[in-house]
Amino acid sequence: MTLRFRKLVRTSVAATAILANAAITPANAFCGFYVAQADAKLFNQSSKVVLSRDGEQTAITMASDFEGDVKEFAVVVPVPTFIERKQIGVVEPKTIEHLDKYTAPRLVEYHDEDPCRPRIAFSRSGIPYPAAVGVVQERASRSYGVTIEASYDVAEYDVLILSAQESDGLTRWLTDNQYRIPQGAEAVLGSYIKQGMRFFVAKVNVDRMKNLGTGNLRPLQVRYQSPKFMVPLRLGTVNAKGPQDLIIYALTKNGRVEAANYRTVKIPSDIDVPLYLKNEFGPFYKALFERAVARENMQAVFVEYAWDMGWCDPCAADPMSNKELVELGARWIGSDDDAPFSARRNVAPGSNAYVTRLHVRYDAKSFPEDIVFTETKDRSNFQGRYIQHHPWRGEATCAAAKTYKEELPARFAKQATDVAQLTGWLQSDIVAKMEKSGETAIK
């Protein structure tokens, strides 16, 4: 019986290009009650990459929404150095799913207080919640100019590490070994060869996968030492049918990650929105993101979340455990127990982790170069956060309550205007839906 299924592992940005065989104390907590999120599942044609960076040590974990027969799955990823077997592993899909939910843009709600109740000023601080296989030369061919530098068995994958002299030789080698090469791939492969990069090639070993009994393909992780801090996205544009979405989760020791060769822009955030969007938050955020992409001419990398992993406010998911963070490559934290990271009270300064969630929509024209990253020392907190304020509906028993109610229509009107500007939706449609929720704006 043909083994088919839906799985997490278009593995990496480059994976779609070639297929085989057919705790820090928070200064100002946001507060609020989390009610909805906009995770990666909103976006079709999307890939997810986790980058853990410590000095010049990088771990890249590659996940995707590839669908089909596992015999038709393969991935070719440019890597900056030779890769040994001990530098390759697999990650459980649920770990990346957890990180995605934890960092996703979120909707929070508040309830307005009785305007007649005396207000007490207070401040709130957040609560941290085998040795490498020998070099294999016998299959290399001088006519191709391709060298198979190593061959590894990695869980359900067969992995090769290739080097090449010319792109046409590498293209012919891949084609002759039953890899489907899309038109235009040769030039992109050639640019990586000129940089002295190798190629990480992985296929599914169906028999071994059945013996392992995993039932699905797991994301691959590659660890290497290199000054290059980048994601090789150009190969993934070669056979793409249109723009693709890439979500990057960067785990670092020091602070926020941003693109060095493209504009890095924070997604619009901290905006009051109507109550009806609680049931339409997914479409709202998708429209907001698409509008932001258009505003930047699809030439920017968007920050959706940047925060210390030791705490969150509001939390869109349970905090990540040390074990999960280490699994994703953040080995510097010094512990791989199952307790959430924030539960450790004796973590030494500097051993914590900071996460940056970056979202990019790209094609070959808008992103002609691979994204190169830089780690900053900025540990300020940011999240894509959208706020609902439930109006107080009590009797106007004081002057303040009367003033409050008189000001509500203007508040609702501003929300309608803001949502229209953020999404491109018709303001009249927004106003009509708001009225059904009891939010009548000024006409």
Please state, in angstroms and rounded to a whole number, the distance separating the CA atoms of residues 65 and 203: 16
For residue range 350-380, list pLDDT tens digits in order: 458 999 999 999 998 999 999 999 999 999 9
Mean pLDDT of the chain: 81
Backbone angles phi, psi at 292, to 5 degrees: -65, -40
How many CB atoms lie under 10 A from the CB of residue 198? Answer: 23
Which stretch of 33-37, 199-203, 226-230 has the lowest confidence by average pLDDT?
33-37
- 3 state DSSP class of 299: coil
For residue range 89-112, list pLDDT tens digits in order: 999 999 999 999 999 999 999 999
Element (H, E) at 90: strand 88-90
Average confidence (pLDDT) over 3-12: 38
Q: Amino acid identity, residue 76?
A: V
Give the gyration radius of the chain's Cα atoms.
Answer: 25
pLDDT at 120 (0 to 100): 52
Dig out the tokens for 400 from the structure: 């303040």
The one-character DSSP state at 141 is B
Which stretch of 143-152, 303-312, 347-356 has the lowest confidence by average pLDDT?
347-356
Average confidence (pLDDT) over 76-100: 94
Which stretch of 83-92, 127-136, 303-312, 431-440 has the lowest confidence by average pLDDT?
127-136
pLDDT for residue 27 is more than 50: no
pLDDT for residue 327 is more than 90: yes
pLDDT at 86 (0 to 100): 96
C-beta separation of 441 from 413 below 8 A:
yes
* Sheet of strand 106-111, all strands in order from the earlier edge strand to the far edge: 33-37, 106-111, 385-390, 271-272
Nearest to 161 by CA among 151, 173, 170: 151
Quote the distance between the C-alpha of residue 100 and its chain's center: 6
Name the β-bridge partners of 23. none
Burial category of 122 from C-beta neighbours within 10 Å (exposed 0-12, middle 13-18, buried 19 and up):
exposed
Q: 205: pLDDT confidence band, cut at 50, 70 and 90?
A: confident
Look at 213 and 231; give whichever has higher pLDDT.
Answer: 231
Average confidence (pLDDT) over 23-35: 39
Tally DSSP H helices, then E strands, for the chain: 8, 24
Look at 54 and 440; give whichever has higher pLDDT.
Answer: 54
Backbone angles phi, psi at 84, to 5 degrees: -90, 165
Average confidence (pLDDT) over 159-168: 90
How many CB atoms lie under 10 A from the CB of residue 188? Answer: 22
Strand pairing report for 371-375 and 257-259: antiparallel
Q: 64: pLDDT confidence band, cut at 50, 70 and 90?
A: low
CA angle 340, 318, 48 (to 5 degrees): 100
Element (H, E) at 194: helix 185-194
- Rounded to two decimals, the pTM is 0.84
Nearest to 293 by CA among 106, 422, 419: 422
Contacts of 107 (CB under 8 A, 6+ apart): 34, 35, 36, 37, 273, 277, 278, 281, 385, 386, 387, 388
